[in-house]
Structure 1
Amino acid sequence: MRMLVVWCPDWPVVAAASGAGLSLTVPMAVVVANRVVASSAVARREGIRRGMRRREAQGRCPELVVFEDDPVRDARCFEAVAAAVEELAVGVEIVRPGLVAVPARGPAGYFGSEEAAAEQLVDQVAGRAEVECQVGVADGLFAATLAAHRGLVVEPGTSPAFLAPLAVNELQQPGGPDRTELIDLLRRLGLRTLGAFAGITERDVATRFDAEAVRAHRLARGLDERPPSRRRPPPDLSITAELDPPVDRVDAAAFVAKSLADRLHAGLAAHGLACTRLGIYARSERDEELGRVWRCAEPLTPNGIADRVRWQLDGWLRTGGPTAALQRLWLEPEEVVEGRALQLDLWRGEGHAEAGERASRAMVRVQGLLGPEAVCTPVLGGGRDPIDRVRLVPWGEELMPSAEPGLPWPGRLPEPSPAVVFPEPVPAVVLDESGKPVLVTDRDLLTAKPAQVGINGGAPRPVTAWAGPWPSDEHWWDQPRPRSRARLQVLLGHEPSQTALLLAYEENTWTIQAHYD
C-alpha cells in the first residue's frame, strides 16, 4: 500500500522546547540514563550526538539546555500535529510521537498528485501546529518513513531500488524493536546496505537467523514487516467504559487507561491474538466524538496499551480537544496478529500474586526435602556456546547471569538455539566420503567435507547438510586457561527421521553438545 508519512524532526526536543517556552535557536538535548537520545540542530552543530554522555555533551556546549525524556509530554504535544494532518487526510495513524502515517491514495486523489498532497501537508502542519515537518511517500510504511527523512516521493514499484543503497543501520528506528545486535552481525558479515541484505533469500535468512531478522529482511526488500493477511478481531473484543463521574483530569484518565488496557489484553489473549493497531475513541458530555489510531511495530503488551491510551487522553484533555468532560471511552483492536510471542507467565491472570506466593512456599518446601539444588531457575547470560549461556540458580537466590549478556561475544553460535543441551558432551566421530576422520586445521578449516557422523561408538549415519565450522578462541592470552574449539552443525539422515546436532571439535576430538528440534 502507498503510504504518506509526516515526520517532525527532533520531536522530543521540539516538544520539550514547547513545554518550556524556549526557541529552537537554543542548543537543547533530551537524555535518558545520562545519555543523549535527541538533540536540536543547533546542538548538533556544536558536536552533540546521539548516545553521547550528558557530561561530555555539556562539556562541548556549556550553554546546552538538557531535558529528561518524557513520552507523555511528547504524545501530548504531538496531538496538535495529528489533528492538523487529519483536517486534510483521513485514516491518520500515529506511529510514534513525531511520526504520523496516512494512506496516500486519498490525499493524492484530492490534491491531484502525491507531490501536491505532500506540499499541502507541510504547509498545513506549519500553519496549524506551528511545527516544521517533512513528508515522504512510498510503498509501505518503512520505505515511506525513510523517504520522509529525506523529503522524497518514491515512485510506485521502486521502493526496493530506493532502499538498496541505504545503510543497514536504517533497520533500527526509534520506537521499534531493538535490532542493534542484528545490524552489528550484518556489518561483520559484509552486508552493509539494505540491498545487500535483501539479496539473500528469505529461506537462508530464516535458516541462519531468528524471526526478528526475517521481519527485518522483509523491510529491506521493500515489503511490509508482516505478510498483508490479518485476522479481523471478533467484534466482542472492543472494550467500552462509561465514565461516571465524567473524566476531565489527566490523573483520573490514567487510572481508566490501565483498567481498559488490562481488559483488552486479556480478551485478546483468550483468543490467541495481540494488537498491532489500536483505536482509541471517546465521547464527551456534549456528544463530541474523538478518535485516534496508534500503529505499533511490535504487538502491544498491557503496559503498551495503557501508555498509548494515557498519552492520547492526556493530549485530548490538555490541548482543548473536547469542550466538556469525557463520559465514554472505548478501545478497538483495529488490527491483530497471532499472539504466540506474548505467552503469559505461568502465574499470570486473576489472583496471580497469591498464586505466585503459594508457588514460592511450595518451592521452598521442596528445597527443604531434597536440597537447595533441587529447584532452580534458568538465567540466560552471555557466552559463545549454549551450554555456557544458561546458568541454573537455586530458588530464592539472586538471578545473576554467569556472564554479561549485553557484550558482543564475537564467535557466538548463530541462531537458532538448540532445543536440548547435553549436561555431558557425547563422544562422536566425523568422517568424509572415504571413511577417513575429518579434522579442523590451525586455520579453522575442515580437512574434508563431512559425510558421516558416528555417535558414541555407534554405526555412522549419513550427513545430508552441514554448516560451519565456527571457531572460538578464549583466554588465549592466559596460559593456564586457553581454550580453542570449533563448532559444527550437521543434519543426519533423511525424512522423516532426520536429526540435527551441534558438534564441537576440541583437542583433536569431536563431541556432540546439543540437539535441535
Structure 2
Amino acid sequence: MACSAAARAAGVRWRMRVRVAQSRCAGLRVVERDLAAEIRAFEPAVRHIEGTVMPRLEVIRPGLIAAPARGPSRYWGGEAQLADRLVAALGEKDLPARAGIADSVFTAALAARTGQIVPVGGEASWLAPHPLGVLGVPRLTELLERLGIRTVGAYAALPEASVLARFGAEGIAAHRTARGHHDRPLNVRADTDAHTVAYTFEPVAHLLEPVVFAAKASAEQLHERLTAAGVVCARLEAVVDLADGRTLSRIFRHEGRLSALAVAERVRDVLQAWADAGLLDTGGEQGIVRLSLRPEQLTTATGRQSALFGERHTPEEVERAAARVQAMLGHQAVVRVELGGGRGPADQVRLVPFGDLDSGPRPPDGPWPGRLPAPHPATVFPSWLPAELTDAGGGRVTVSGRMALSAAPARLAVDGHGDAAVEGWAGPWPVLEWWWDHDRSRRVARMQIATTDGSAWLLLVEHGRWWAEAHYG
C-alpha cells in the first residue's frame, strides 16, 4: 500500500509483492495497514492547509488531497506560487510533500510525483511519453504491450471506436484518461441539497459514540435516497454543527464505494482527530448539535453489487456480523462469490471480500474457446487431487500432443476417494493458455470420466500426470 523514503531508496515500490520487497531490502519492516490511524494522523495536515492556504479540500485518501486551483492560485499570485505554498505549509508540520497542478485529478496526482505543473489543455501531450502502467489497468497494459503499444500517447492515438470494440468499457475509460479527458472534474460545490441527510441531537451530544451511530443511520438513509434517484455521488461531505456556533466539515471521496459502515468509520476517525486537536470540546455546555451528510457531484449510477446474497440488500445483522469477523480475522475472512471469465470451473468463480467492489478484469461472457460446457460440476476442489487413470493392462493412460489416448481407460483412482472401473468417458479437450508468457503459460487436457460406482469426475492431465479437478455427483 505504501513505503517509506528509506524503503524506496532500497528499491521497494508501491504494489510490490512482500517477498520481492523483502528480497530487495533485508531489514524491511512490514506492518498491517491501519486506516483509522492514517485518517487521524493526516487530519491535522489537512486542517492546517485549510487554515493557511485554501479553504476547502477533497480527501481522496490519507496522504492525497485535491482542490480546485483557480481561485487560490489567483490569491497567491500564480499556480507555481500556490504549489510552493502548499509544500511549505506541510513543511511547517515537518511533512515532506509534493504538489502537482493539471486539468484533471488523475494527471495532477501523477504530476505531483515530480512536482510539475501541466499547462492548461496540455494533458494529452504531457501524458504521452509515460508508460502505460500509470493508467492503473495491469491486464490492459500487458495486452497492449504485447501488441507493441507501450506509451500512453500511442494508446491515445488509437481510434475510439476500435478501442471500445476491442477492450470494452474498461479500455475506453483508460483511453479517455490517456487523451486527457475526465468524466468527473473536481468541483467542491454541492450539486444539490435535495439528498442531504441531517440528524439533530436533542439534547446536545457530549460523547462520540452517539454521533457515530447517527452517522451510520444517516449514511443508510442517504444511500437509500441516492439509490431511489438512480444516482451515485463522487464525494461526501460530513458537516458537524457545534453548540458554540462553530461548524466543522470534511469531504471524502465516495464514488459509490463506501458502505454505511465505512462512512460511519470515517466520521468517527475524523471526530477523534478533531477531539485530539482540541477543536471538538464536548464537555460542559459544549457539544454536537447537528450532523449532516451532503452528497456532491451526482452522476448516473451504472450499477454496483455490494450485497452478499443476490440482488437484495444486505441485512443489517449480516453486515454487522461480517464487519466484526473481518475486524477479528482480517479483510479476507468474509467473501462473496462473483462469476468471472475462464475455461475451467475454478476459473469462472472469484471470491471478493465483503464490502469491496468486484474489480475482476475478465468478463464472464465469452468468447472463451475451450470452456467446459454445462452441466457444471457440483464440487470444485480448492486444490487438485492426485489421480491415476489406467488401461486394462494396468498401464497409465497418456495423452499425445494431438489429443489421442494411448489406450482406452479402464480404472480410475482418486486420492482419498478410492478407485472404480471406468464406465464411460468424454474428451480429451486441449487447453492452451497464456502461451505468450513463458512463466504463466499452461498446456493441459481435460476429460470427463464416469465410473461404475455412480460417480462422475472432471480430470485434468498436465505434464503426463492426472489430477481430479472437480466431481459431478
Q: TM-score, normalised by structure 1?
A: 0.59
What is the identity, as a one-letter code, of the residue corresponding to 2:69? A
Describe the shift of the 1:289–1:115 C-alpha distance in structure 2 as closer, same or farther (beyond 3 A): same
Q: Does 1:328 align with 2:294?
A: no
What is the identity, as a one-letter code, of the residue corresponding to 1:327? V
Which of 56, 60, 67 is 1:95 aligned to?
A: 60
Aligned residues: 353
What's 2:5 paired with?
A: 41
1:349-371: per-residue Cα shift (whole Å, max 9, x none)? 597879xxxxxxxxxxxxxxxxx
Describe the shift of the 1:220–1:296 C-alpha distance in structure 2 as closer, same or farther (beyond 3 A): farther
Which of 161, 183, 196 is 2:141 aligned to?
A: 183
CA contact (8 A) 2:341 2:362 kept: no
Report the CA distance between 1:113 and its aligned residue: 0.9
1:12-61: per-residue Cα shift (whole Å, max 9, x none)? xxxxxxxxxxxxxxxxxxxxxxxxx3221112333434445556655765
In structure 2, C-alpha distance between the alignment counterparts of 1:231 and 1:250, rounded to whole Å: 28
In structure 2, C-alpha distance between the alignment counterparts of 1:74 and 1:111, rounded to whole Å: 30
User: 1:116-515 to 2 correspondence within 5 Å?
Assistant: 116-127=81-92, 129-172=93-136, 179-226=137-184, 235-244=193-202, 246-247=204-205, 249-296=207-254, 300-324=258-282, 325-342=287-304, 348-349=312-313, 380-384=339-343, 401=346, 417=365, 480=405, 481=428, 483=430
In structure 1, C-alpha distance between the alignment counterparts of 2:185 and 2:160, rounded to whole Å: 13
CA contact (8 A) 1:72 1:314 kept: no
What is the identity, as a one-letter code, of the residue corresponding to 1:140? S
Larger deviation, residues 81-90 vs 145-154: 81-90
What is the identity, as a one-letter code, of the residue corresponding to 1:122? V
What's 2:70 paired with?
A: 105
CA contact (8 A) 2:340 2:362 kept: no
CA contact (8 A) 2:206 2:288 kept: yes
CA contact (8 A) 1:238 1:330 kept: yes
In structure 2, C-alpha distance between the alignment counterparts of 1:212 and 1:63, rounded to whole Å: 39
In structure 1, C-alpha distance between the alignment counterparts of 2:225 and 2:26, rounded to whole Å: 52
CA contact (8 A) 1:160 1:221 kept: yes
Describe the shift of the 1:44–1:211 C-alpha distance in structure 2 as closer, same or farther (beyond 3 A): same
User: 1:12-23 to 2 correspondence within 5 Å?
Assistant: none
1:127-165: per-residue Cα shift (whole Å, max 9, x none)? 1x3211101111111111111111001111111111111
1:472-493: per-residue Cα shift (whole Å, max 9, x none)? xx9969765452799xxxxxxx
In structure 2, C-alpha distance between the alignment counterparts of 1:164 and 1:139, rounded to whole Å: 15
What is the identity, as a one-letter code, of the residue corresponding to 2:144? L
SS in 2 for 1:138: coil
What is the identity, as a one-letter code, of the residue corresponding to 2:78? S
Alignment RMSD: 4.0
CA contact (8 A) 1:160 1:220 kept: yes
SS in 2 for 1:235: coil
Describe the shift of the 1:190–1:348 C-alpha distance in structure 2 as closer, same or farther (beyond 3 A): same
Larger deviation, residues 245-254 vs 88-97: 245-254
In structure 2, C-alpha distance between the alignment counterparts of 1:332 and 1:307, rounded to whole Å: 16
Report the CA distance between 1:224 and its aligned residue: 0.8
In structure 2, C-alpha distance between the alignment counterparts of 1:63 and 1:305, rounded to whole Å: 37
In structure 2, C-alpha distance between the alignment counterparts of 1:230 and 1:104, rounded to whole Å: 11
Q: TM-score, normalised by structure 2?
A: 0.64
The list of structure 1 runs, each at least 4 consecutive aligned residues, that deviate by more than 6 angstroms after superposition, is 227-232, 350-354, 413-416, 421-425
What is the identity, as a one-letter code, of the residue corresponding to 2:42? F
In structure 1, C-alpha distance between the alignment counterparts of 2:337 and 2:400, rounded to whole Å: 26
CA contact (8 A) 1:108 1:117 kept: yes
Report the CA distance between 1:319 and its aligned residue: 3.1
CA contact (8 A) 2:57 2:188 kept: no
1:67-106: per-residue Cα shift (whole Å, max 9, x none)? 2101111111111121122121133111111111111111
What's 1:514 paired with?
A: none
In structure 2, C-alpha distance between the alignment counterparts of 1:125 and 1:189, rounded to whole Å: 43
CA contact (8 A) 2:38 2:62 kept: yes
Q: Which runs of 5+ in 2 are unaligned?
A: 319-335, 352-360, 375-398, 406-427, 434-473
SS in 1 for 2:117: coil
